[in-house]
A and B are shown apart, each in its own frame.
Chain A
């Protein structure tokens, strides 16, 4: 309750955004807007707090428990703030075989945090996740919404360097030219 009173509501000055999101759904399907609203909050605040859940519930005219139920179903919504760079290491079979476990160990060592933690500066979070659907280019590391594929040790070091200096490199996509930066990526992380 105290939090509710002191934190400014997220959607206060965002009437336009709110109208746009709510406008996507018919009146009887208003609850469909739970997902995009949660997403808006998380994009801005890197997590969705209880106060925000209650705010969304009030906007949609439902109980906060219902919003929480939807949110908790998806592991990609966070209850606690994640770091500026959310490192998600695929830990399903193909990636494991291609060295994802070693990558995790390396990241744990480098960052000083274990699976599920965020560092003290709030810069990095590390999370082992299930299949990211990129088995052909294992191992895969997803940083926020960006895929980095065939992550070798060298690439990993370079990636961390870049992230520490505050820039998110172009993604390395290796799926045969489905991406403009594919060519660059074949050169490996050398130019990163």
Chain B
């Protein structure tokens, strides 16, 4: 459609909003209520413009002409129009520059500012405030309002993570709409009306995993991130765009740092991955970086004590020790959120030292690489049938939001010259959701089930049987045996209906995560199911770079060299990065027998207590490198200016150790690692674009490991994925205040039997490791099982806890 904005003519697709036409033409118009990926509602009345269009004669169908010029006559709307809710028409004329329009915009600025306090000098949003900018650009700078402004609560804690200043709110309704439209839970609403309107909740807190996004979209300083409130001004922050290493989604984030400290994390826009949303774990889970007990210098054990040394001395010590250790006796293990570059460095070091004992952890028993047709986020968001096995909202929350996109049935918007449409007219408030296309299966009730047309709770630990039964339904005509029906967790008819729905869909996606990956048989079954119904698969690996590390082969050359074997006597010397296996006392015993234990970590822990050398590790915010998200997308990781002392990532460790050993190893720097990766993957990772690169890499692991199937079919504790990373929760005070401590969830009947009540702090030996947790009682937990968040050392799966070891901490305090 031809549209004319001021003096610029341009061609746009029908259905485009007038506001997008204005921006596409290179002009500006102020707005507060419109927001990318949300419904336009015309609430703020800022985007007013004079809009008109030619008209056709009803009888003849010809354009009505202007008598003077002979051109089609433009019939203007009788009043100025909110361009965000106006769709373009053929020949539409939009005027944003005339005095009339300027006057209206000026009036709206004045009106909006009537009740807005003059807080700018102390407001966290100052300098990055839409209202401030718009008032400057479109306001007259004067107010005629001589009365008292509205006074309301200035420090209302909406939750532990978000503080609301009700005086600053301009009622744009972005936050209210966000909760209903994006995560699909209306936990925040306008209360009262007119000039008394405020946003609020009934009851405490905001029960959602995605609350922090409202602080990003608030056009004023009303909604503020409580972790960063009063910490700095916007122009003082260094804004670093990078990739979140909190989960496998590869969500884009902006790290705002000041004087060497991360003050806040905001969501960045990656239209094909996380859009502009991130979960609260990613946003607020950064405080540990600045924890007081962070290790910032290398340490070497001298006469039983760890003493600070230089990197050269530490690596020299390691080199000397390595000389006495035969090849193949050294083990190297990375945490699975290490970058590809670190992976290359680890491989190069392992190759140089001629050891096959190389691994990453947590590494599920089954491959995290998708087999068959891999689904992208866009496939998920446009799917017409989705089958989820697992708890996506905790595992990779970004997947949860993209599934909710699919339920709306609106395909991702086309990109315009200025980016994502500001007002996508296809989106509406309270759109009907197509819940029927979503089926969620998990061993317990998970949050996404509230949004699913059908949900199934299969028996705990029964993934293989559950999926095999579905495969049988999909491929064989035979009736299911009684056992198989029990494993299915739902009536057979429903199982058949699910298969049918997936098979008939044009774009079906099966999403699975750690529960399935805990067993190769279950993984094979889900792949077979996907093949049978011609669905794409999306695999949620346990950590940010699980996909990448497996793809480049940071893997043991033989099953007997796996991490679990290494730490139990398989290796004589170990270099562990980011891991703490000594939490398990039996492992700690085995580690004591090592000739050399090098621990590369951020914090002192049970393993560093046994280490000969402790090396300070960079956190995910300080590294430069590349990760591969669950789609197989290469995403850049960039370092924010954070004071990590002498911390190095694994490439730094390899550089220093290489120097000590007198070799130049691949991966001694990110540059050399990228060269090696280019050779390995035929993908050039230099200067990756912000949105990442979807390249066809060699999708087979270079080192294959045959795993002997050891199904854990019994146990009383199910380790479950968790958005809040339990290993850091004690050093993330704000996140801990909001989401609580590590929770041990159990059924009310079990709690009664064990004489536990909600809120009690307990210690319990789980699979050999002593875990501390707070009891949470919930009907959603199956009877006879307890749920506890998994850690890198204790990955998702069914394990046994010794109930005799259960100790209540509070009762112990009383005794003391």
Selected from B185, B190, B192, B193, the residue in CB contact (under 8 A) with A63 is B185
**Which of A28, A66, A68, A69 has the most chain B CB within a 10 Å cutoff?**
A69
Evaluate contact between A64 and B191: CB separation under 8 angstroms: no
Report the minimum CB–CB distance from A25 to chain B (whole Å): 13
Q: Which residues of chain B are near A72, meaning CB under 8 Å?
A: 191-193
Residue of B whose beta carbon sits closest to that of A64: B202
In the complex, what's the smallest C-beta–C-beta distance from B368 to chain A, in angstroms? 35
B432 touches A65 (CB 8 A): no
Interface centre among B188, B202, B203, B430 (most CB of A within 10 A): B202
Are A68 and B191 interface neighbours, CB within 8 A?
A: yes
B659 at the interface (CB under 8 A from A): no
**A93 CB, min distance to chain B CBs, angstroms:** 19
Q: Are A69 and B191 in contact (CB under 8 A)?
A: yes
Distance, CA A156 to CA B14, complexed state (A): 63
Instruction: Report yes or no: B186 in contact with A65, Cβ–Cβ below 8 A.
Output: yes
B190 and chain A: residue at smallest CB distance: A69
The reply to whether B192 and A65 form a contact with Cβ atoms under 8 Å apart is: no
Q: Which of B186-218 contact A (CB under 8 A)?
A: 186-193, 200-203, 207
Across-interface contacts of B193 in A (CB, < 8 A): 72-73
Q: Does A62 contact B (CB under 8 A)?
A: yes
Q: Which residues of chain B (162-192) have a CB below 8 Å from chain A? A: 185-192
B192 contact from A28, A54, A64, A73, Cβ within 8 A: A73
**Given the interface contacts A50-B202, A64-B202, does A69 sit within 8 Å of B189 by beta carbon?**
yes
With A and B bound together, what is the CA distance between A108 and B45 in angstroms? 42
A73's closest neighbor in chain B, by CB? B193
CB pair A53 B192 closer than 8 Å:
no
B482 CB to nearest chain A CB (Å): 35
Name the residue on A nearest B176 (C-beta).
A69
Total number of residue pairs linking A and B with CB closer than 8 Å: 38
Q: Are A63 and B187 in contact (CB under 8 A)?
A: yes
Q: How far is the CB of A8 from chain B (nearest CB, A)?
A: 20
Contact of B188 among A50, A53, A65 (CB under 8 A): A65
| Interface size of A as a range | 10 to 19
Choice from B190, B203, B430, B432 contacting A64 with Cβ under 8 Å: B203
Q: Which residues of the other chain, A, contact B430 by a CB distance below 8 angstroms?
A: 31
Complex interface: chain B residues within 8 A of A64 (CB) = 202-203
Closest to B188 in A: A65
Alpha-carbon distance A28/B189, docked complex (angstroms): 20
A68 and B189 within 8 A (CB): yes
A135 to chain B, nearest CB (A): 22
Neighbouring B residues of A54 by C-beta, 8 Å: 202
B449 to chain A, nearest CB (A): 13
- From A31, A50, A66, B189 is in contact (CB under 8 Å) with A66
- Interface flags for A31-65 (1: CB within 8 Å of B; 0: not) read 10000000000000000001001100000001111
**With the chains together, A53 CA to B202 CA distance in Å?**
9
Give how many B residues have a beta carbon under 8 Å from the other chain's beta carbons: 16
Bound-complex Cα distance A73 to B194 (A): 9
Closest to A71 in B: B191
Q: Which of A28, A50, A65, A67 has the most CB of B within 10 A?
A: A65
The answer for the CA separation of A73 and B193 in the assembled complex, in Å, is: 5
Smallest beta-carbon distance B477→chain A, Å? 35
Which residues of A5-33 are within 8 A (CB) of B? 28, 31
A28: which B residues are within 8 A, CB to CB?
Answer: 432
Question: Contacts of B186 on A, CB cut-off 8 Å?
Answer: 62-63, 65-66, 69
Interface centre among A50, A63, A68, A73 (most CB of B within 10 A): A63
Residues in B with CB closer than 8 Å to A67 are 202
A74 to nearest B CB, angstroms?
Answer: 8
Chain B residues within an 8 Å CB radius of A66: 186, 189
Q: Which residues of B contact A68 (CB under 8 A)?
A: 189, 191, 200, 202
Across the interface, name the chain B residue whose C-beta is closest to A31.
B430
Residues of chain A lying within 8 A (CB to CB) of residue B192: 72-73
Residues of B within 8 A of A31 (CB): 430
| Min C-beta distance of B210 to chain A, whole Å | 14
- Min Cβ gap B99→A in Å is 36
Measured in the bound complex, the distance between the Cα atoms of B191 and A50 in whole Å is 14
Proximity string of chain A (62-87) to chain B, C-beta cutoff 8 Å, 1 when within and 0 when not: 11111111001100000000000000
| Bound: A72/B191 CA distance, A | 6
Which of B188, B191, B432 has most chain A Cβ within 10 Å? Answer: B191
Contacts of B201 in A (CB 8 A): 65
A182 to B53, CA, bound (A): 54
Contacts of B191 in A (CB 8 A): 68-69, 72
A65 to B192, CA, bound (A): 12
Q: Which residues of B contact A63 (CB under 8 A)?
A: 185-187, 202, 207
With a 10 A CB-CB cut-off, give which of A50, A64, A66, A67 has the most chain B CB atoms: A66
Q: Which B residues, 422 to 445, have Cβ-Cβ distances below 8 Å to chain A? A: 430, 432
Q: Write the nearest CB–CB distance from B195 to chain A, whole angstroms.
A: 13
User: What is the distance, in angstroms, from B530's C-beta to the closest C-beta of chain A?
Assistant: 32
Q: How far is the CB of B430 from chain A (nearest CB, A)?
A: 8
Q: In angstroms, how far is the closest chain A Cβ from the Cβ of B465?
A: 32
Separation in Å of the B453 CB from the closest CB of chain A? 13
Tell me the bound Cα distance from A66 to B184 in angstroms: 12
Task: List chain A residues, Cβ under 8 A from B190.
Answer: 69, 73
Complex Cα spacing A62 to B188, Å: 12
Question: Residue on B with the closest CB to A53?
Answer: B202
Complex Cα distance A62/B207, Å? 13
Closest to B191 in A: A72
B236, chain A: closest CB distance, angstroms: 36
Compute how far the CA of A61 lies from the CA of B785 in the bound complex, rounded to whole angstroms: 28
A62 to B187, CA, bound (A): 9
A7–chain B nearest beta-carbon distance, Å: 16
The chain B residue sitting closest to A74, CB to CB, is B193
Bound Cα distance A54, B204 (Å): 13
Complex interface: chain A residues within 8 A of B185 (CB): 63
Report Cα–Cα, A72/B193, bound state, in Å. 7
Least Cβ distance of B776 to chain A in Å? 16
What distance in Å separates the Cβ of A155 from its nearest Cβ neighbour in chain B?
33
A26 to B189 alpha-carbon distance, docked (Å): 24
Find chain B residues with CB under 8 A from A65 CB: 186-189, 200-203
CA distance A79 to B752 in the complex (A): 37
A72 to B202, CA, bound (A): 11
A50 vs B186: C-alpha distance when bound (angstroms): 17
What residues on A are CB-neighbors of B202 within 8 Å? 50, 53-54, 63-65, 67-68
CB proximity of B89 to chain A, nearest CB, Å: 30
In this complex, what residue of A is CB-closest to B450? A61
Residues in chain B near residue A62, CB distance under 8 A = 186
Most buried by B among A31, A53, A54, A73: A73
Across the interface, which residues of A come within 8 angstroms of B188, CB to CB? 65
Q: Closest CB-CB distance, B214 to chain A, in whole Å?
A: 14
Give the shortest distance, in Å, between A5 (CB) and chain B (any CB).
Answer: 15
Q: Which residue of A lies closest to B432 (CB)?
A: A28
Nearest-CB residue, chain B, relative to A29: B432
Smallest Cβ-Cβ distance to A61: which chain B residue? B450
- How far, in angstroms, from A69 to B190 measured CA to CA in the complex? 5
Q: How far is the CB of A161 from chain B (nearest CB, A)?
A: 36
B200 proximity list for chain A (CB < 8 A)? 65, 68
Measured between beta carbons, the chain B residues less than 8 angstroms from A50 are 202
A69: chain B residues at CB < 8 Å are: 186, 189-191
Q: Which chain A residues border B187 with CB–CB below 8 Å?
A: 63, 65
Report the Cα distance A47→B192, complex, angstroms. 16
Q: Which residues of A contact B203 (CB under 8 A)?
A: 64-65
Q: Which residues in B have some Cβ–Cβ distance to A below 8 Å?
A: 185-193, 200-203, 207, 430, 432
11 A-B contact pairs sorted by A residue (CB < 8 Å) = A64-B203, A65-B186, A65-B188, A65-B200, A65-B201, A67-B202, A68-B189, A68-B202, A69-B186, A69-B191, A73-B193
Known: A65-B186, A66-B186, A68-B202. 20 other contacts (CB 8 A): A31-B430, A50-B202, A53-B202, A63-B186, A63-B187, A63-B202, A63-B207, A64-B202, A64-B203, A65-B187, A65-B200, A65-B203, A67-B202, A68-B189, A68-B200, A69-B191, A72-B191, A72-B192, A72-B193, A73-B190
5 tightest CB-CB pairs across the interface, nearest first?
Answer: A69-B189, A68-B202, A66-B186, A64-B202, A72-B191
